[in-house]
Amino acid sequence: MRALTRYPAITATAVVLATVLVLQARGEPAAARWVATAWVAGFIVWTLVGMVRDVLRGHVGLDVLAVVAMVATLAVQEYVASLVIVLMLAGGEALEDFAARRARRDLTALLDRSPRTAHLLAGGDVPVDDVALGDVLLVRPGEIVPVDGVLLAAGTFDESSLTGESLPVGRGTGDEVLSGAVNGTRAVRLRAARRSSDSQYQQIVALVEAAQESRAPVVRLADRFAVPFTAVSLVLAGAAWVISGDPVRFAEVLVLATPCPLLIAAPVAFLSGLSRAAGLGVIMKGGTVVEQLARLRSAAFDKTGTLTQGRPDLVAVRPATGFAADDVLRLAASAEQYSSHVFADSVRRAAAARGLGLLAADDAEEVATRGVTARVGGRRVVVGKPAYVRSVAPDTSDAVLGPGQAAAYVAVDGRFAGVVVLADDPRPESAAVVSWLRANGVEHVTMLTGDARATAESVAGQVGIDDVRAELLPGEKVRIAAGLAPRPLMMVGDGVNDAPVLAASDVGVAMGARGATAAGDAADVVLLVDSLGRLVDAVSVGRHTLRTALSAIWLGIGLSIALMLVATTGAIPAVTGALVQELVDLATILYALRALGGPPSGLPAVRSP
């Protein structure tokens, strides 16, 4: 009953068709003709209204073929055929819904699993939106973690919905666990680190909703084929009529030219691609992104946190004359409490590892990609790049760094205090990803980074990039990205500072595993797994999806034209032709669902160890 009420046009057309068949069987052809004509005429008017709306939106209406076919079958008194055409067109909606639900399965699974309640340890169950920072929550075995939090006891979690990795992950006391992860076999307690709206899973849900609501470029794909396909169909039908001298032949040809393969199969392919990517831990914000990834010709990478691990380790503290190493590190870490740069976290971790307690900082101010200034214990501390520190401490001297090393320069009360030397190694998969891109049609690969040139060139040499643009401000990254060729250009980054250039690129890709909200909002693609190898998955899925969509279109067109050629001989009656065309629709939709299967075998699986 739910199916009957969900698709009233199908139900009503089936009833009308049954009525017409009964009237014909009882020897009342006139009544059958009027019933069929009235219903089909009403459907034609409804279809024409939809076509006008499409034209006003700037899209060519492929339904003109269906309208002409219905008018032609009525004109030659093929009433049953005209009703079958209406039934097939109305049935296309049900077929599309079925295929779309199948294509969206991974996207829908993410939405359905969105946490809705949380167990406060001292307050009972509350809606997840009411959880405040610092609340202690109980997560029972098998439950979904409702908000991002810090564990108060060790546990094991299934993070497959976040990362696509199927193996459970162990987390210790003090580790952060992200919302959307599924708790293991023992109850755990955690302290809320973010509100629901800021937590990782809610950000993923927002991305998925945007992807589902976006309109894939299938409209453009259909428009490219609409006019020539319509013209060829009408020419074949007209030629059949002229050659045979029988107007019935015109209708018999056109019933095989319904446009469902273009209107349904291609959208299903793009939805399948989006769903396939989500299952791999890659969220794409719509079908346009899929097409851009498929046609990719250039790629640009940020360095820190993208090509590198993003968690630099302390190599050395080199104090200037008059300063102690621990004092320099303590003051730098205290000032870096207010910085979002990945080096800031490394400096803080290094101070904690040495048992150095941080001091309270006042009047902190950060200049993006340059450094931070703060008043710590009554002293003015500046931490950042050499040029930034030299602007307040002219005696700043450049540090001698080894391959892959970087330095945070420190000034205290206008005097150069020393440098904190860090090393951020390239990701194990970075070189393989760059090599794969070059081998698969990406002609130009470059690095755009705000880091020092020596450090950038060292990392670039290790991963196979020869075009390095270093010491860039965010605005300079945007300007350089705008001039890079050939297009489309993909930019990959991970931090807040990368958001402008991600938004300005043809395809912006954010390494979103660490919850870089601004970068994720600006990007077109978010990699939920902290692995650059997922970039290979994203590009591969994009190319496979576009190939599948185009193949589905050509399959439908090819089968339709072949059948129309047969129909020009009179071998396919109108009613039979309408039924056969539905089989063509089904074949193209099933082919489009191949995009759910992912790229063809043989593509390398690039992963972090």
Q: State the catalytic residue, choosing from 106, 148, 158, 302.
A: 302
Sign of the Cα torsion 361, 362, 368, 370 reads: negative
Q: What angle do CA 36, 37, 38 make, to 5 degrees?
A: 95
Residues 6 or more apart whose Cβ sits within 8 Å of residue 587: 555, 556, 559
CA atoms within 13 A on the CB side of 77: 7
Distance CA 445, CA 535 (A): 14
Give the C-alpha separation, 178 to 281, whole Å: 14
Q: Prior bond to 600 cis, omega within 30?
A: no
Cα distance between residue 532 and residue 528, in whole Å: 10
What single letter denotes the amino acid at residue 560? S
CB-CB contact of 577 with 567 (8 Å):
yes
Find residue 371's DSSP bridge partners. 367, 384
Question: b/e for 457-472, b at 16 or more Cβ within 10 A?
Answer: bbbbebbebeebbbbb
Active site residue 506: no
Question: How many Å apart are CA 83 and CA 41, to the nearest integer?
Answer: 10
Token pair for 392:
């307040």
Structure-block tokens of residue 146: 């409702």
**Residues annotated as catalytic (active site), given as ranges:** 302
